Structure 1
């Protein structure tokens, strides 16, 4: 049973061999890689929204190197803690699917039978994601208009992606859990020291959100040594790529490796009844 719904009429979608179809007669082709495009033209603000082909490839190469494996381990532990035997799980802003696939694998390894979907606005990212894990449904869509029915998700994961709280409240069932992954204050501090003359720490906030109970914040951090070309891949997948002076980018390109802190916070929320 699909977690996805039609973006045109909000009816449930059924996955067929090569398409998704709804009772209203709308159908959406499944790509060769296995994702479906559910972003209507009037929701596309550019010809190719989200991460482009080069950024998606850089993200896949870096994360596949295992540098953030400690974050995935901490995330999976929380997922297992807050789900039952057959959870419906949604990854909003799933990117190239590293965390999505890891969560799905952890649930399956624990004997659970998850239904899981990953949504991202980048078609380029979903080409990687759909190849990474065939057991997950992947859809091109906006986090602000998730193609998922009301109250269907037991757990929602959001890793460094847009915080679409109204939609998260809508798609989570009462009592459902929302895991929000953000960088810790010292995340990639050494990288920022190379890139900028005056680096600054990320904010460390515990913000309550309406409609959610704030349960906990889990910390995950490790020092990793990143060598080229993964160091360039890391730079390309961060927001720093777009706002770094040329001099900073040149300093980074001249390095063979860099030891840096990879530090994260996972905020845990429960939707109120």
Structure 2
């Protein structure tokens, strides 16, 4: 069974050898790595949207060393707390599939028999996601035009990705759960102290959204030691600071061989109202 629908006509897609196909005959090839492309050309805002090959490789290498294991494990616990039996699960902006794979395996190992998919606009990063987890469907798609049916998802994950609330409301079943991960106040504070002369903490707030009811906010915090210039630069690339740090801050970071860093997240847990 596929969670995906045709981005052109909205009909359910059937997985066939090497492709997805809808009853109207629209067909989408499955790449050698295992993902498909469900982002129509008229919805692309650049030739190669999302993370490029270099950024995808750096992000994948960093997360594979489990620096963010505390967040991964918290998401798995929440999935087990909130997902029903046989859940339909969607990870929007799934990146290299680090969290999607972990959540899928946690649910599977608990006997929940999940059906899971992940979407991202970066083809380069989805190559890595599809290699990481063969039992999760992955597709190039926009969070603002998710290729899933109305009210078809039980559990929706969004980790540091665009907040497409209208689409999330449309996709989630009434009573379904939305896990929204945001950086907390002191996230990467020590890195910011290296990069900026006058760093400031992240804003922390509780924001209600139409159509959703708060279930809880789960705080996750840990202290990690990032070793080596390669991992430090990979972490830097994963942040928005990569695009707006002065040259002096970049030079200070490049002079380091390790850094103890606080990682701090808030997972906002919402229920989709009827």
What TM-score comes out, normalization by structure 2 length? 0.99
Deviation at 1:144, TM superposition (A): 0.2
Give the alignment of 1:139-150 within 5 angstroms. 139-150=139-150
1:225 match: secondary structure: strand
| Counterpart Cα distance in 1 of 2:237 and 2:248 | 16
Residue 272 of structure 2 corresponds to residue 271 of structure 1: yes
| Counterpart Cα distance in 2 of 1:59 and 1:104 | 20
**1:48 matched to which residue of 2?**
48
TM-superposition CA deviations, 1:135-179 (whole Å, max 9, x none): 000000000000000000001000000000000000000000000
Give the alignment of 1:38-187 within 5 angstroms. 38-187=38-187
TM-superposition CA deviations, 1:162-219 (whole Å, max 9, x none): 0000000000000000000000110000000000111111110110000000110001
TM-superposition CA deviations, 1:47-76 (whole Å, max 9, x none): 000111111111101101111101111111
How many residue pairs get aligned? The number is 273
2:144 match: secondary structure: helix
Q: Aligned Cα RMSD in Å?
A: 0.6
| Counterpart Cα distance in 2 of 1:250 and 1:8 | 48
Deviation at 1:107, TM superposition (A): 0.7
| Counterpart Cα distance in 2 of 1:109 and 1:221 | 25
TM-superposition CA deviations, 1:120-149 (whole Å, max 9, x none): 011111011000000000000000000000
**2:26 matched to which residue of 1?**
26
| Counterpart Cα distance in 2 of 1:250 and 1:21 | 51
2:186 match: secondary structure: coil
| Counterpart Cα distance in 1 of 2:14 and 2:126 | 20
| Counterpart Cα distance in 2 of 1:250 and 1:102 | 35
**2:259 matched to which residue of 1?**
258
TM-superposition CA deviations, 1:72-106 (whole Å, max 9, x none): 11111000010122000000110111000010111
What TM-score comes out, normalization by structure 1 length? 0.99
Instruction: After the TM superposition, list the runs of 4 or more consecutive aligned residues in structure 1 that deviate by more than 6 angstroms.
Output: none
| Counterpart Cα distance in 2 of 1:108 and 1:214 | 26
| Counterpart Cα distance in 2 of 1:191 and 1:257 | 11
Gaps in structure 2 of 5+ consecutive residues: none
